[in-house]
Structure formats: C-alpha cells, structure tokens
Structure 1
Amino acid sequence: MESTVNITENGNGLVIPQNYKKLHRLNEDHLYHLALDTQKDDLEKMFGDVRFVCFGGQPSRMEKFSAFVAEELKINDHEKDGDRPKNYASGTDRYSIHKVGPVLSVSHGIGIPSLSVVFNEIIKLIYYAKCKDVEFFRIGTCGGVGLEPGSVVVTDKAVDGEMNPYYKLTVLGKPVKRLAKVDQSLVESLLRCQEPDDEFQTVKGTTLCADDFYEGQARLDGAFCEYEEEDKMKFLQDLKEKGIRNIEMESLGFLAMCHFAGVKGAVACVTLLDRLKEDTLSCDVSMLKKWQERPQILVLRHIKKKLNKH
C-alpha cells in the first residue's frame, strides 16, 4: 500500500501532524525519547522561534554543531550547562537536543529505525511549539561512489538497496510505501551556497540508503559475507553507472518522512572515502573531524541567507 500525502496546514506556515485528532485526545503527551512533556514544559515558550531543525548521527557532533551555530550567528544568550550548550534531552540517554536561537540541533543515531523515533517526536514538538515555516536538514557522513573523499553530496534523489525511491515499513502487519520526495528548492539553495574558494567540491546526486553498514553496503569486512571482491566491485560500478554518488543509512526515511509530514527537507553529507577504492577509512581522525564540518558549513550558509545574516 502506498501512503498518500494529505498535509494539514492552517495557512500560517504551521505543520500539523496527520495524527493531530488522536493527539488532541491526550491529556498529556510525553515525548519520551526527548525527555519533554506537554504539561510540565512550556514548549511554545521554549521552542516557538525554531525555524531550522538539523539532524545528525552523533550527540557529540551535534553538540559541536550547536556551538558552531552560536559562533556563526553571533548568538551568546543560548542556554548552557556550564561551558556546554544545554542538552534538553539530558533526561534520556537516547538522543540529544541543543537549541541556539532559531536552530535546533538533534542527534538521530544510526539507521532509519533510530531516526524514525526522534523524527516523530520532533514533528510533535514543533507542532506543540507552534513553529512556523520550519526546514529540516540531515547533515552527516557517507561513503562516496567515484568521488574524492571530503566531497559534499546534496541528495536530489534517495533510493533503497533495490533502487526504489520509497521508504518501506510494516504497519498493522501490512507493507506501506512512502515516497522519498526531495524538496528541490532546498537542494538548489544548498548548491548555491558553495563558494569558489571552498576546499571541497559540492555535488548533487542520487543517494543509496542502505539498511546495514556491512553487507547492505557491499563491504567485505563484516562478520557475514557471501560474495567476493569481484561481486562487490561489479555492484559498486553498477551503482556509479546508475548515477549513485554516495551511500549512507538515513536519507530515504528522512526525506520520506519530511514529505509525508509536509516539511521541507534536504540531506547534505560529506564522503569519508571512495567505495570504489576502499571499504574502511584510511585518513587520520583530525582530517575526518574537519571534513564533518563541511556539510554543516553549507547548511549554515543557507540559514544565514534565510535570516539575512550573510
């Protein structure tokens, strides 16, 4: 069954969850994995000015990103715990949430299942907070296919391991497909944010969203592997010929959920290696950390333009 998009909006830029009628029956909605609550927390006061939600895998990376946001947007009055940005989800060990002005920085873990949990609760959070005209971004890392390591790929199409542009899940024992439609206006905006003196190239292309890090991405170094080097290389070459530029594990679900929720969303990831040449990382940690900042730089340029702070 293919889900149809039936976005509920009030014309003022607010996103209303499709499940809002059932949510209204609740006396209290406990956003369990965010350690937030509709009764004990004034979500509108806390988060009502949020316009950009940036997702990334690791809590530590997203904490550093929030500090980067504060520096770039010149915001010094955001809440802190000591010298560190406040983690609003500190009451749970699942995810992290940091807020700097209109930017929310959220960790999502690894893979679509982990992403889906926090995505659901973030959608409800921006609904309860009455946020307007919100844009979602996934900023992360990936494996490149025929690209120089350190390149940034802006996803203009996401597919699964069978080349289908659908996020598939099982609901009430039945398969459901949701189209991973990319907001092309955001894609083009991010591409326009590249600058001539950048130390990295920014490209757009199709992203393969795998269900697994090892076999699902044709690696030879997992605990299980029923294919040989030549099988792997044929598969990766086929991907390149089909226009696949990178491989990661969240884009398909992220873009499908953005589209289904009626939220503008985009994905920008930096390639840490070229999968046509290697399965594992060979560069040093300091270089990796520098590369991880590249999609953040791109997204922040977009945010600054939207806020007229460029």
Structure 2
Amino acid sequence: MASNDAVQKAADKSSEETSLTVPNKHLVEMKEDILYHFALGTPTHNFPALFGDVKFVCVGGSPSRMKTFITYIAEELGINNGGNDFPNICAGTDRYAMYKAGPVLSVSHGMGIPSIAIMLHELIKLLYYSKCSNVTIFRIGTSGGIGLAPGSVVVTKQSVDATFKPQFEQVILGKTVYRKTDLNNDLAEELMECAKELNQFNTVIGNTMCTLDFYEGQARLDGAICSYTEEEKMQYLKAAYDAGVRNIEMESSVFAAMCNLSGLKGAVVCVTLLNRLEGDQINTPHHVLNEYQKRPQKLVGHLIKKCLGRK
C-alpha cells in the first residue's frame, strides 16, 4: 500500500514544473478572496497546506460521479484514508462537491457552460492560491455520439460550437470576445496510448460539439418545443459528422478556453450513451449505462497511474 508521501514524490518527478497563470491583475490588490461557491476562502483556509500537492484535477457533472471517481482512483493508487470515507471538502455549500485523495482532486461542475464556468473560475484561483504547479485537468462525462456505437469514448481534439467553429463566444462589457478551444494534443495522444494498453472499449479522437441546450440546441425531436423536421435534423447531424464532430455535450468549449488562458494542460474524455444518427432518447438499461460511465474514469485513472509511475 503506497503512502501519500510516496505518491507525491512520484508526482513531483512526473514532468517539468510549470506555473499556473491567473490573468487578472485585480486579484493582486485583494487582501482576501472568498470562493463563495466552494465555501472556501483565503482568510479561513490554508490553501497551500490543503491543496499544494495537487497535480491532477478531474471534473464532472454530478457530485455522486466525482465521489465515485475519488474512491476509485484512491483504490488504484493505494491511498488509504485511514479507513475513513473521503469527505466533501465543499460540504458548506450545495453548489459543488469536492474530494481529494493524495495529489488528485475531484470536483463536480453541474450541467452546462454557466455552471462549469463558475466552478472553473474558483478552481483556478484555488490552485493559484495553493501555489500548485504542473497541474493536469480532465473533464470526464457523458455525451451523445455521432456515428459511434454507444459506449465509445471520445477524447476531444477541439471543442466546436453549434456552427462547427472551434471557438468559445463570451460577451464581456457588452462586446463579444472569441476564445480558442483547442485542447492539449500531447495529452490526447497519451490518453489514446492508454486506451490501447487497456484494450477494453472503443476510443477515438474527434471534435466535440458544445451546445447551450440539451434539446433544440442538439437537434433533438423530443423536447417540449421543436420547429424543424426529422430530415432537417439528420442533415444537420450529418454535417456535424462531416466537420469531424464525434460527440455532443455542453461544457467542453469554456473548459478548453479557460485551460488555454490559465496554462492548464487539459483533456475532455466523454463516453457516448447513444448514437444520435439512430435516435434521441436514451433507452439503454441502467446497469449498462453505469458501466459506460466508468469508462472515462478508467482511462483517466490509467494515465494518472502511469504519470505517477504506478503499474
């Protein structure tokens, strides 16, 4: 059973140290900073002591999924929390949940761009105040596939918007700003190599379409409102496939943009729950969906173990 110290030493040696960037000059002038949605703050918490050893961050939609992940990765790394459960560090709020096992932090982000954006602002500041360096961040989740069998895992090359452009649109002071949504190519290739080593499920690299909505925004026919035909829906999804899109979700664009701005090495790893070219509703048995949802965790966990020198 590896100790936390042994795991941390391996993490420190994993690669050259790189600093986190927080492009906000106003933070320097602040004497205190309250990370409101985490129920954490610089006047009440010793960030370097609590989080200074973090090298890997894994984020996903639901609190229960991120609790499952931290339990899984702790077991994989041989981290024993004294026989106790891993507590929710953000128990003082019901907005997000956060768990930690050695150098791995697991955080929920809710559903959609606004929710994950709020979380990422506070997470990046948390890592900055903790003096973390050489941090790799993963978003794991579920998605709708395009032209892929259900259960396939997509490692995102670029996040594209609903017009298939690789950009994130942000309105700031009434003006539209466009930000790049490329993800780290080397990290994506490392994940693909891990997928080959695992050899347990189909894994591909492709573009991920990030939408603002689950129904009309993703060309579904089963929402409360729908103004287009099935033929128009199919034309759109096939155009997305031709543009290199292999899955659809609702968080990857702002995730990629904020990784680029802050210097975080990031990857998006999502499993497909259905092939949208064959339908809109998820009717796969619950136990099968549970197994699908573990696949991104297994892939990311395998890479983390490799980085830490663990078999």
Q: What residue is the counterpart of 2:101 in the other structure? A: 100
Q: What residue is the counterpart of 2:30 in the other structure? A: 26
- Mapped partners of 1:48, 1:197: distance in 2: 31
- Mapped partners of 1:111, 1:84: distance in 2: 29
- Mapped partners of 1:153, 1:138: distance in 2: 12
Give CA-to-partner distance per residue, 1:227-274, whole Å, 9 cap, x none: 011111111111122221111111111111100111111101000000
- 1:14 maps to a residue whose letter is S
User: How much does 1:196 deviate?
Assistant: 5.7
Q: What residue is the counterpart of 1:301 in the other structure? A: 302
Q: Does the C-alpha gap of structure 1 residues 197 and 136 become closer, same or farther in structure 2, counting only changes over 3 Å?
A: closer
Q: What residue is the counterpart of 1:152 in the other structure? A: 153
SS of equivalent residue, structure 1 residue 64: helix
Q: What residue is the counterpart of 1:189 in the other structure? A: 190
Give CA-to-partner distance per residue, 1:8-60, whole Å, 9 cap, x none: xxx952213111x3112112100000111101101100000000111100011
Q: What residue is the counterpart of 2:162 in the other structure? A: 161
How do 1:1-310 and structure 2 match up within 5 A? 12-19=17-24, 21-77=25-81, 84-195=85-196, 198-310=199-311
SS of equivalent residue, structure 1 residue 130: coil
- Mapped partners of 2:135, 2:260: distance in 1: 13
- 2:23 maps to a residue whose letter is Q
- Mapped partners of 1:51, 1:196: distance in 2: 23
Give CA-to-partner distance per residue, 1:191-235, whole Å, 9 cap, x none: 000136633111001111111000000001111100011111111
- Mapped partners of 2:303, 2:20: distance in 1: 21
User: How much does 1:84 deviate?
Assistant: 3.5
How big is the alpha-carbon RMSD for the aligned residues of Structure 1 and Structure 2? 1.4
Contact 2:21 2:261 in 1 (8 A): no
- Mapped partners of 2:238, 2:163: distance in 1: 15
- Higher percent of residues as helix: 2
- Mapped partners of 1:89, 1:50: distance in 2: 16
Identity of aligned residues (%): 50
In structure 2, the gaps of 5 or more residues are 1-15
Q: What residue is the counterpart of 1:4 in the other structure? A: none
Give the TM-score normalised by structure 1.
0.93
- 2:35 maps to a residue whose letter is L
Contact 2:164 2:240 in 1 (8 A): no
- 1:224 maps to a residue whose letter is I
Give CA-to-partner distance per residue, 1:80-105, whole Å, 9 cap, x none: 9xx54211111111001000110100
In structure 1, the gaps of 5 or more residues are 1-10
Q: What residue is the counterpart of 2:4 in the other structure? A: none
SS of equivalent residue, structure 1 residue 211: coil
- 2:20 maps to a residue whose letter is V
Q: Does the C-alpha gap of structure 1 residues 134 and 226 become closer, same or farther in structure 2, counting only changes over 3 Å?
A: same
SS of equivalent residue, structure 2 residue 119: helix
Contact 2:153 2:204 in 1 (8 A): yes
